[in-house]
Chain A
């Protein structure tokens, strides 16, 4: 997918909307609307912190001034699934909690992404037990797995950056599903699938 290249001079005139080269000549951007939207989306992720356990404490560290997730454009934490596009599952999910998590995931507007933070959310961790979900991918699709018990804040930051790269490349679960649906629709229209 084409990456748009832009060079916008800060001192360009008020009426001139189009980007200019350093020598003053105008250029045009050719890209797909999807790519442009993805670039906007990846830089303004709105996380829903589904914090259940110890990882939620480390997630707080990531949000606070020391590590500061806002440097990556993802500081607008929203506790309503209607207002967020990144489900950040931080902590152990039990069988009792799983229906709640699924409902929140389903309530989120598309496009939506999921980061599974910590060993418990990824695999159940060392709780191989009668009341613990052995990895949230039993119930919802996961884009990025961040290992650790709990992961260091740096690891979570890396996970968020990785998700941003995936969004730009169109590799997240939602984007792949959408691409497959488009391909199927095209195939059905052309009649040569």
Chain B
């Protein structure tokens, strides 16, 4: 790991002008002249001592008051060295153009389209720069500060977007007409609202394009209009298969910005419930993947385990699925008295169901024939697409945020990061199964460390006072009123908080202007980066295998489209 000084020195040596290093901040930041961006990107990626192979995130920020109104922000990470930087490119309102870095990192593809869609920043040289989340009849750019959040635009039947090639007839080598097939957005195997258009030559896919945005619920715009704590229910609905992880990731980012820390008991409970959520997420992913391949039984087994976990979450937070249990500074309330017992019971119950499922599937001839060698991707390529999480580990790159940059005290636990070297659908399945076991082991260790204590930090400017004080003490009542009406004040600044979501690195790029509401929140959804490689992986595969590959990617539309 190079220190900040070493990174700055290396960049300064290669680019004496046009790149300015900013002091302070959570990670090393550079303000870059836009003309230099592709060359700088190439240098950052190829220079072995820097090795920024992973483009985590690209987003835009709108500052209407500034002379240079927009900012394109890039987050880079080196898996090899474990260091991270941020690049900022200021842009004028009358000329919001920045050269595309798609030639350096393939991952830039969809992220740049998103910034174009929501902020109107144009990326010169992008081969397919069109709207990605909003529909084609949408006018304006929704994340600009002067866009009215309630302004809708109607899309009518027949105005939907079609890939240009899908409208043109094409013949194969034997002069037969090829077929264009539309899968989704309402399709039993898409698990949510994804749409794939493929061209088939016989049963082999020769062209593919994916359209997303069918579940774009405006999370980022909504979060700018709510107080810091009110954003938490929205985070639950990002990856709705494992809501707790999102809430914890968001709270950790805000806590880092506010300079507070949750008490140890809250940290441990967060860890236990996050790992339970991870188990839950993997169970649904595996079950749904198998269901698509025709194996219904394991899905029923997996769902039984899921129901058991639901009952524990319900006892803690009152909700089954969208639990909104984390708070900035800790947790909403303490766990019930029988929490440890009921989790211990889960620790006995889930492995039995997973074992049953494994007996049916892992050695199953049909399953292996359908998945081995299907949807293969090399580790290097996966990294280039911005993959993280179980999918990247399925390709042999052992990057896990919990190990590389521990939070919630993960460094003190004994767990392994499973990888598969095959990089195919079967490998991703095996990684997920092993991760379930590792998560259960983590939970077991954490249960032993659960000590009594407070569950939320004592920070009156951000954390609601206890109800009994609100009803009896004047000062508590005033704080309660201020926190509810205005929101807790978070100091001005920016933080890129990242945690290991069930699908990979879940990033929250949080900007505060010192007010009670976030100035900008950009989520880095792990499956967004994973899914953009999907159409490219489909080329040359059989159409039936597209379902197997999609299921193994665990794309959750709520997180993908936000």
Contact = CB atoms under 8 A, between A and B. Distances in A.
Nearest to B238: A54
B216 A149 contact: no
A99 B154 CA distance: 10
B525 to A, nearest CB: 14
Interface in B225-256: 233-234, 237, 240-241
A94 B157 CA distance: 14
B192 A96 contact: no
Given A53-B557, A64-B307, A130-B147, A94 B233 contact: no
Main secondary structure of the interface of B (DSSP, over half): loop
Contact of A57 (B151, B153, B193, B321): B321
Nearest to B241: A57
B149 interface: yes
Contacts, number: 130
A61 B154 CA distance: 33
Contacts of A98: 155
B215 A50 contact: no
A35 interface: no
Interface string A73-105: 000000100000000000110111111111110
A56 B192 contact: yes
A58 B185 CA distance: 19
B152 A130 contact: yes
A100 B155 CA distance: 10
A150 interface: yes
B192 A127 contact: no
A130 B192 CA distance: 20
Interface string B343-387: 000000000000000000000000000000000000000000000
Contacts of A56: 191-192
Interface string B295-323: 00001100110110010000000001110
A100 B184 CA distance: 10
Contacts of A91: 215
A98 B159 CA distance: 12
Contact of A99 (B157, B222, B240): B157
Interface string B171-211: 00000000000000111100111000000000000000000
Nearest to B158: A99
A158 to B, nearest CB: 16
A128 B226 CA distance: 12
Contact of B303 (A54, A64, A131): A64
B213 interface: yes
B215 A58 contact: no
Contacts of B154: 95
Q: Which 10 A-B pairs have the closest CB atoms?
A: A129-B218, A54-B240, A96-B135, A79-B188, A64-B303, A99-B157, A97-B214, A66-B307, A127-B217, A131-B216
Interface of A: 50-54, 56-58, 60-61, 64-66, 79, 91-92, 94-104, 120, 126-132, 149-150, 152
Interface of B: 133-135, 138, 142, 147-160, 185-188, 191-193, 213-218, 221-222, 233-234, 237, 240-241, 284, 299-300, 303-304, 306-307, 310, 320-322, 557-558
